[in-house]
Amino acid sequence: MTAPTLTSIREAKERLHGVIHATPLAHSTSLSEEAGMDLRFKPENLQITGSFKIRGAFNKIKSLVDAGAKGVVTASSGNHGQAVAWAARYFGLPARIIVPTTAPAIKVASARAFGAEVEFFGTRSRERLERAEQVAQELGYVFVPPYDDAWVMSGQGTLGLEILQEWPDVEAVVVPIGGGGLISGIATAIKETRPDVRVIGVEPEGAAKAFQSRQQGRRVELPGTESLADGLITLALGHLTHPIVERYVDDLYTVSEEAIQQTLWRLMTRLKLVVEPSGAVTSAFLLSEQGRARLGGRRVVAVISGGNVDPEVLRTIPVQ
């Protein structure tokens, strides 16, 4: 299996039943009025391990357990690593997580708390991925990709099924883009069920690999990325996720660092939710002039991908 299908996503939903939370949509009258649309939020910051990543990690590791794996290793800026650590502990497998030297302390501490061994290596995603594959060979473990894997994408796609089930009248779903695993899964689930529902991707201006790829008509690898949204700063979409994004995602947009910062405070003060910068990009777009012009008057879901924000990061953001 090289790409998720509606069937593989439905099967993942069955595997995840009773293990993860089916996070209920949240609503804010004031934010809906500000955005000029019926706006609801999918709060994966309330998910097990604090992000959507547990969906794909658990689905993938369950398949590896069934195949007789004796351990797992992955590369992660934080959230995927925590999810792999949690799922590995659930199945009684050892896990090693390769994280960047700049990884947020709160995410590293969480992975260790779930029983994983954490190794710091480099600052770029490619470096971590290469190191993780090396460790997998050395230890005889299986590498769990953070996004470029059909099992992982299928797990993430369960989020899309939940949205359609809870709000059948939804007209658009807005999703953050890092390596593309989340939006690939969600877009597959939605477009193969309700092709009339628009799927929109958002990424930081400083990590606009999906946006640039569409503009140039090819998979672009950026020379570097920089953003407060540390979970979205991969240099390129995956080789598997890129064609899915091109096939199923209707529109791609970017948001500024200032907009991300402002939106963090809006979500905390209006929704009373602690959201990490990566999870705030969708709301930042929808609360912008561009978002209002594009989706004003519609029924829209903003995916909040996670809430594992380092308190030290919050201290650096001016109160709005």
Of 139, 49, 124, 131, the residue nearest 86 (C-alpha): 49
Q: Among positive and negative, which fits the CA dihedral 79, 84, 87, 90?
A: negative
Strand partners, 303: 42
Please state, in angstroms and rounded to a whole number, the distance separating the CA atoms of residues 86 and 131: 21
Q: How far is it, in rounded angstroms, from Cα 126 to Cα 105? A: 21
Check 213, 227, 288, 305 and give the catalytic one. Answer: 305
Active site residue 278: no
Residue pair 159/42 in contact (Cβ under 8 Å)? The answer is: yes
> CA angle, 8 as apex, 184 and 167 as ends, to 5°?
65
In the set 53, 60, 107, 209, the catalytic residue is: 53
Q: What angle do CA 298, 299, 304 make, to 5 degrees?
A: 120
**Closest alpha carbon to 23 in 160, 189, 198, 199:** 160
Q: Are strands 142-143 and 251-255 parallel, antiparallel or unpaired?
A: unpaired
3-state secondary structure (DSSP) of residue 144: coil
Contacts of 57 (CB under 8 A, 6+ apart): 74, 80, 83, 84, 86, 87, 144, 152, 155
Angle, helices 241-248 vs 209-216, to 10°: value is 70
Residue 255, classed as helix, strand or coil, is: strand
Task: Tell me whether residue 305 is one of the annotated catalytic residues.
Answer: yes
The residues annotated as belonging to the active site are 53, 305
